[in-house]
Structure 1
């Protein structure tokens, strides 16, 4: 075993990676009962990967330089459990600085970053999301719920947390393909305005509103939330805050405060980390979500405290996103041939890694979903959480 492999093996304390080469020889990195097996094309590629594993391990998979011998998720579990031991302080500091610069997210760069991910061909999303095109964590009230039912349950929970009143005007920041906005308009006597930076999403959301007969009560705009004019009786943002970037957190909460009526309620649904602030995955940042960042709870609280808003409720959804991603990956693989026909094989390998690495991070890497309920006044909402619980899921 080379010095680099010995160094790495000492840092793998929560499982083993058994690596086989095309000539039949093997080496083992790490120790412990948990093991995963993979096959590398050659030793040179392995040593190239080891010089920057967080970036090059996924890059090498996408380019076909290694394959799991069992399943990809088992390899990612071992890698995820040991990944925090691999970066030097210097490398970590440089990546934090690079990440902060990438999160500045001006109006121009924010739109470009969103279009990078969301303006790929919509048929691809239809082949692995639920039928209503929810692209965020579902809510599994019961473990056996289908993906469709769990997404409806998520919408119902959010609606309860918004405590909607008849005739309310709701703002949906980062509305996607309009799924939540259409749900609220369909089930409640409210008007909804959705804003997005994705031209593709905005066009499809408008088409869906017309088809559902809701175009008179649901309006979609290609607009940066920083330019939106209010006021609104309720504000919801689902899976958008991860794109805001840390330098913009104070602006985001200040805008929510400015756009919300005095007796309004807001709900922020975002991925969050139980760990102290870090730079996140450089591979995800480069190839999947440029300009994005998963916030630590401490990074959310400081700008929120300065905004003038009350945090009236905080719920942490554990493992719900892992279940959601498992459903997405299964559907993606079932429809892989059709997706490859649209986007190519390299895209399929990249997105398979993205979906399963994300699931691994929610299972073993410290990620969860935070739902923060916000209000401008201390007495806007009931004194207990009883109003949030319901035995029914609106469908």
Structure 2
């Protein structure tokens, strides 16, 4: 425990961590001020070293495997909350600082997303059973940041508001053709089709496309929506609008120019794109090891500086930028609460280890938007400076019209 204790003494500055070691000995770290008290038990001596060397990955794996358990009423959320309010001291530790430098040095190799590799990595997450996602998503199966007018909005209302907000930004006119890069389970395609657009939706997940096609038929807009099972780099065509929601996070470091070049290539001269993506308000970084290994292999949340450097290189106008700061925190909060409520159903689909992995993921994601650097950006991009109305009142006007008639 000596190495691990040295790390925790330097790390826990807010709140208190109580650690029960393999022999039952109790070790306490932190004053207990400005944060919760969390008690954990370690069941394997190997954790003394692995937690010291790579706490973010080792803690997640140990929780999944049951060799790190929460005690005395503490929860996984409490544990990660304590971690999230002590991130700065952890990063300042010499060993952890070296670890982060090594991650950054190898980040391009870790996220070399060729077309085939990108497809495989996306399917790792999105080809899970749709029944799993039905347990915690809204009825429309929207798996991206919702749009909350109040923290107390229901998930269903917030996701409906998100779709309205995005379609309002597209400023669609009847007969327009729209390319959707990353179509999910079809809710946005259905909304755009109902607004009069003809939609081509790209997706690399056969499981999602199967469900999306069913939902489009049920909505009666199958004549207006076509799903294409291709990576964005394999597709060609020109459209009045391009929209991409929750996709840029999967592009990976070193591929942002490819992504924005394809967006530009697929736009008509007077068209424009709406890009919705998680971003970070800090300088460029890396993807945490737990997320990279178990949740989103190949994924990376870009810094605004990386995004705008790419649009500058490609000569795209950024006509509008909206930053949603806490909206994804509320979204993940609602997902986590729903998932925990449906734990047994999820365990019946997979197993207890999978459920603990998913809980760890949802808790960490939620706290990344509460205490970390994550936010969501919505950008309007065009080739021509006057493709987008010169004042953004059109967005609110469109929203009000859609809400009045919807």
Mapped pair 1:237 → 2:244: yes
Mapped pair 1:332 → 2:339: yes
- 1:59 alignment partner, one of 52, 61, 65: 61
Residue 83 of structure 1 is matched in structure 2 by 87
Distance in 1 (CA, whole Å) between partners of 2:288 and 2:3 is: 26
Residue 45 of structure 2 is matched in structure 1 by 44
Q: CA deviation at 1:271?
A: 0.6
Residue 225 of structure 1 is matched in structure 2 by 232
Q: CA deviation at 1:199?
A: 0.8
Task: Verify the 8 A CA contact 1:40 1:46 in the aligned structure 2.
Answer: no
Q: CA deviation at 1:22?
A: 6.9
Task: Verify the 8 A CA contact 1:236 1:268 in the aligned structure 2.
Answer: yes
Residue 100 of structure 1 is matched in structure 2 by 108
Residue 175 of structure 1 is matched in structure 2 by 183
Distance in 1 (CA, whole Å) between partners of 2:132 and 2:342 is: 9
Counterparts of 1:129-148 in structure 2, within 5 Å, are: 129-148=137-156
Task: Verify the 8 A CA contact 1:138 1:147 in the aligned structure 2.
Answer: yes
Residue 164 of structure 2 is matched in structure 1 by 156
Q: CA deviation at 1:74?
A: 2.2
CA RMSD of aligned residues (A): 1.8
- 1:386 alignment partner, one of 375, 384, 393: 393
Counterparts of 1:160-309 in structure 2, within 5 Å, are: 160-186=168-194, 188-309=195-316
Mapped pair 1:122 → 2:139: no
Structure 1 stretches of 4+ moved >6 Å: none
- Of stretches 85-94 and 360-369 in structure 1, the one that deviates more from structure 2 is 85-94
Distance in 1 (CA, whole Å) between partners of 2:130 and 2:36 is: 38
- Of stretches 136-145 and 149-158 in structure 1, the one that deviates more from structure 2 is 136-145
- Of stretches 246-255 and 138-147 in structure 1, the one that deviates more from structure 2 is 138-147
Q: CA deviation at 1:42?
A: 3.7
Distance in 1 (CA, whole Å) between partners of 2:337 and 2:4 is: 36
Distance in 2 (CA, whole Å) between partners of 1:223 and 1:43 is: 45
Residue 14 of structure 1 is matched in structure 2 by 14
- Of stretches 17-26 and 119-128 in structure 1, the one that deviates more from structure 2 is 17-26
Task: Verify the 8 A CA contact 1:170 1:232 in the aligned structure 2.
Answer: yes
- 1:364 alignment partner, one of 348, 363, 371: 371
* Number of aligned residues: 394
Task: Verify the 8 A CA contact 1:285 1:292 in the aligned structure 2.
Answer: yes
Question: Which SS does the other structure have where 1:268 is aligned?
Answer: strand
Residues 303 and 332 of structure 1: is their aligned pair in 2 closer, same or farther, counting only changes over 3 Å?
Answer: same
Q: CA deviation at 1:32?
A: 5.2
Task: Verify the 8 A CA contact 1:45 1:65 in the aligned structure 2.
Answer: no
Structure 1: tracts of 5 or more residues without a match: none
Q: CA deviation at 1:8?
A: 3.1
Q: CA deviation at 1:386?
A: 1.8
Task: Verify the 8 A CA contact 1:172 1:195 in the aligned structure 2.
Answer: yes
Residue 70 of structure 1 is matched in structure 2 by 74
Distance in 1 (CA, whole Å) between partners of 2:151 and 2:295 is: 29
- Of stretches 373-382 and 107-116 in structure 1, the one that deviates more from structure 2 is 373-382
- 2:118 alignment partner, one of 86, 106, 110: 110
Task: Verify the 8 A CA contact 2:291 2:297 in the aligned structure 1.
Answer: yes
User: If the length of structure 2 is used for normalisation, what is the TM-score?
Assistant: 0.92
Question: Which SS does the other structure have where 1:237 is aligned?
Answer: strand
- Of stretches 263-272 and 7-16 in structure 1, the one that deviates more from structure 2 is 7-16
Task: Verify the 8 A CA contact 1:18 1:35 in the aligned structure 2.
Answer: no
